[in-house]
């Protein structure tokens, strides 16, 4: 099964363009998972691709210039592209509905992403297989201008300004998945301002599928950077205190 199966609406057909393949396969109108893309292969993709859902995995091309030629693509996923420093060609795809960006270690800036005026689903992450390397961005402030964004995932992302508060102004947001690498105070701020509109509210802690070694009761992971995993029974006093502290942070936000 392709890497992008859960992101796309159709099951993707995989094409390895670093070996012999049929040019006709690029003209599939459903979903394509294209891999090992050098500069020459990128030109072929731009000239022939007709996929509505397009996954680009292991991009060794130096640039994504020309992406706006993919006028039939409404869902785009880009993963493992070590040379890409600029996504401005992608941000010209004003008709794009869904965008998945993962493991672009040289990317620093998403300014101009609001050119994707119809975008409703966005995934931003570093390497999905480990905590390194993260996706290091200067800021996610540009996301606040995505007025139709409904689903946002931020995983293994590091921000120069360490500020996720701009997400709170996205009034269309309904689903938010955010890694536990940001300050608890900021996540409490998001909880206060977004919980009324989120399908899955931001809470003080989340039940894990792991039992306590002492009492076999459920463990809970607390929200926020460097926060602990606790058993609500064995560590009752601290458990309740951390829940109360989060409620106070929400009230003060």
- Inform me whether the pLDDT recorded for 247 exceeds 50: yes
The packing angle between helices 184-194 and 236-252, to 10°, is: 60
Note the pLDDT tens digit of each residue in 73-86.
Answer: 999 999 999 999 99
Q: Which two tokens stand for residue 192?
A: 């206060």
Domain locations in the chain? 13-179
- The three-state secondary structure class of 51 is coil
Query: Could you give the CA distance from residue 124 to residue 154 in angstroms, rounded to a whole number?
Result: 5
Span 202-241, pLDDT tens digits:
999 999 999 999 999 999 999 999 999 999 999 999 999 9
Rounded average pLDDT over 126-136: 88
Q: What is the mean pLDDT of the chain?
A: 95
30: tokens are 């459903």
**Domain at 13-179, CATH from 3.80.10.10, 1.10.3720.10, 3.40.50.1110, 1.10.357.10:** 3.80.10.10
pLDDT of 2 reads 57
- Residue 180's pLDDT is 92
DSSP-assigned letters across all residues of 60-112: --S--TTGGG-TT-SEEEEE--TT----TTGGG-TT--EEEEE--TT----TT
96-117 confidence digits (pLDDT tens) = 999 999 999 999 999 999 999 9
* Tally: H helices and E strands in the chain: 3, 13
Which run of H or of E encompasses 237? helix 236-252
Q: Which residues contact 48 (CB under 8 A, 6 or more apart)?
A: 23, 26, 27
| Full-model pTM | 0.95
Band (1; pLDDT cuts 50, 70, 90): very low
């Amino acid at each position: 099964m392709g890497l992008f199966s859960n992101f796309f609406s159709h099951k993707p057909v995989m094409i390895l363009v670093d070996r012999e393949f049929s040019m006709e396969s690029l003209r599939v109108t459903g979903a394509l998972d294209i891999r090992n893309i050098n500069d020459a292969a990128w030109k072929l993709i731009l000239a022939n691709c007709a996929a509505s859902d397009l996954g680009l995995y292991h991009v060794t091309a130096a640039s994504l210039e020309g992406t706006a030629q993919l006028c039939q693509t409404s869902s785009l996923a880009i993963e493992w592209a070590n040379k890409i420093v600029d996504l401005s060609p992608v941000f010209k795809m004003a008709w794009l509905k869904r965008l998945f960006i993962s493991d672009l270690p040289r990317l620093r800036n998403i300014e101009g992403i609001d050119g994707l005026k119809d975008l409703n689903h966005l995934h931003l992450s570093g390497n999905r297989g480990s905590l390194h390397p993260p996706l290091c961005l200067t800021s996610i402030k540009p996301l606040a201008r995505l007025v139709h964004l409904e689903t946002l995932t931020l995983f293994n992302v590091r921000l120069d300004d360490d500020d996720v508060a701009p997400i709170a102004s996205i009034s269309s947001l309904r689903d938010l998945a955010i890694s536990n690498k940001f300050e608890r105070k900021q996540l409490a701020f998001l909880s206060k301002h977004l919980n009324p509109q989120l399908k899955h509210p931001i809470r003080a802690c989340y039940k894990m599928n792991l039992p306590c070694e002492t009492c076999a009761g459920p463990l809970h992971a607390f929200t926020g950077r460097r926060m602990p995993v606790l058993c609500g029974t064995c560590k009752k006093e601290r458990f309740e205190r951390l829940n109360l502290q989060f409620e106070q942070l929400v009230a003060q936000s």
